[in-house]
Amino acid sequence: MTYLLDTNILIYWTKGVPSVVENIVSRGFKTLAASIISRSELYYGAYRSHHVEKNLQTIKHLSEEIRFLPLNEDIERQYGKLKTSLRREANLIDDFDILIAATAIINGCILVTNNVQHFSRIAELKIENWLT
């Protein structure tokens, strides 16, 4: 099984949150991935921070430890379906989050996030929270 780590989980990992680190260690790096959307969000956070170089090094380290999955046409198509469905239900979430969810679905991953309530609007998405 592959676990797609949401941006918030990547941040908790870099901060050494014990439950996240324990789950990562017990599952092994080969079972982990993240979306390039999450890496983009991390870059945004790094450049907004007071510790730009340190945070850029952290992103580089993460990129060496786990796979960052690119977008492709299947993910883009899934994004379109999900956003349409969420809009019809008046249940929209952020576009980046829809892309992350689409990446998890297309790649058959479990999405690991601390934002379960947010992502639970997407019925076909498998979700775990490693902070509980």
Residues annotated as binding site for Mg(2+)? 6, 97
Cβ(116)–Cβ(129) below 8 Å:
yes
The H or E element containing residue 62 is helix 52-65
Q: Which of 112, 114, 115 is nearest to 127 (CA)?
A: 112
Integer Cα distance of 53 and 93 in angstroms: 31
Beta strands at 67-69 and 32-35: parallel, antiparallel or unpaired:
parallel
Q: Which residues are annotated as a binding site?
A: 6, 97
DSSP 127: E
